[in-house]
Amino acid sequence: MNVSDEIARRVSRIEAGIDRHLPPAGTRPERLHAAMRYAVQGGGKRLRPMLVVAASELFEGNFAAGGPARGKLDPLPAAVAVECAHTYSLVHDDLPCMDDDDLRRGRPTVHKAYDEATALLAGDALLTFAFELIGRGYPSDPGHAIGLELADAAGSRRLIGGQMEDLLAERKADATASDLEFIHENKTAAMIEASLVIGAMIGLGPKGSSAQNEGIAILRRAGRDLGLAFQIVDDILDATSDTATLGKTAGKDAKAGKKTFATLHGVEASRKFANDFSDAAAAEFEKLPGAAPFLVALAGTLGQRIR
C-alpha cells in the first residue's frame, strides 16, 4: 500500500464534500459564511474526516470510486460535520481570550482575517451547522447515535472540558502528568475517537451487526491512543520546529507557560510516548476486519513527523 496515495485519495473526496456541503460564501450574511468557508477550507491534514471515511469503508467495504453503493449510507455528511466541529474549536482556540494566535495552517487566523466578533460567530455557526449536517444526512438511524457521539465528544466533559483544563493548567505550577493526560485525552483524543466510532456507525448501517459492539470498543481504544500520539507529536513539533514549517506560531506553548508532554517530560521521552501510543493504536486497528491496513499505516505516519 502507498499510504500517501491512499491519504490523497480520501482527502480529495473530503475536500469536494466540504465544498459541496458548506453554505455558499454568498449566502446572506455573506461575511459570516465567507468566514466559515475561510476557516474550514484553510487546508490541514483532514485527519478526523479521513477517519470517518476510513472506518465506514472498513465495516462495509461498499464504497466504490463513484461513491456509496445503492442503499448504503454516505459518510461524507458526517465527515464534513466532524471537520466543522473540529474547526470551530480551532477558531475559538485562536481568539485573544484563549491562545491569542495570529496564524493557523500558514494563514492569518479567522479573527485576524476578519475580526474577533465575526470569528466568534463563525465558530458558533460551524458547530451548529455540524449537527444540521448530521440531521439532514442521516434523518433516521443511525443519525441519532451519530449526533449523540459528536455532542459528547465536543461537549463540556470532553473537548470543551479539556480546553478549560488546559487554560487552568497554565496557571498551575504543579500540574501533573495525570492533569496533562486528561487534557490531551479530551481536548484532542475525544474527537479522533468519535470520528472512528461515527465512521463505524455509518458503515454498519441502521441495523448494525454482532460486530458493532466489539468493533466500536476497539475503535474507542485505538482513537484514544491515536489522539494521544497525535497531540504529543504536536507538542514535540511546537518545541523543535519553526513557524514556517508548522503553519502556526512555533514555541508558543513554552512562552505561554502551557503544560505539554515536551515541557513536562522532555523531548526525547516524549518521542517514546508518541511512538508507544502510535504502536498501541496500530495494534488495536489490526484486530478489526481485514486487519485495517490503511488505519495501521496511518498510525505509523505519526512517528515520521518527529524523526
What φ, ψ does residue 220 adopt, rounded to 5°? Answer: -65, -45
Burial of 117 (C-beta count, 10 Å sphere; 0-12/13-18/19+)? exposed
Low-confidence ranges of the chain (pLDDT < 50): 61-70
Q: So what's the pLDDT on residue 306?
A: 58
> Are 96 and 135 a contacting pair, CB within 8 Å?
no
Q: What is the pLDDT of residue 249?
A: 79
- CATH of span 3-304: 1.10.600.10
Measured distance CA(86)–CA(100) in Å, rounded: 18
Rg (Cα) of the chain, in Å, rounded?
19
Residue 94: half-sphere exposure toward Cβ, Cα within 13 Å: 29
Instruction: Return the pLDDT at 208.
Output: 57
The 3 state secondary structure assigned to 260-293 is CHHHHHCHHHHHHHHHHHHHHHHHHHCCCHHHCH
**Per-residue pLDDT at 62:** 38
Please report the pLDDT score of residue 4 as a whole number. 93
Residue ranges covered by each domain of the chain: 3-304
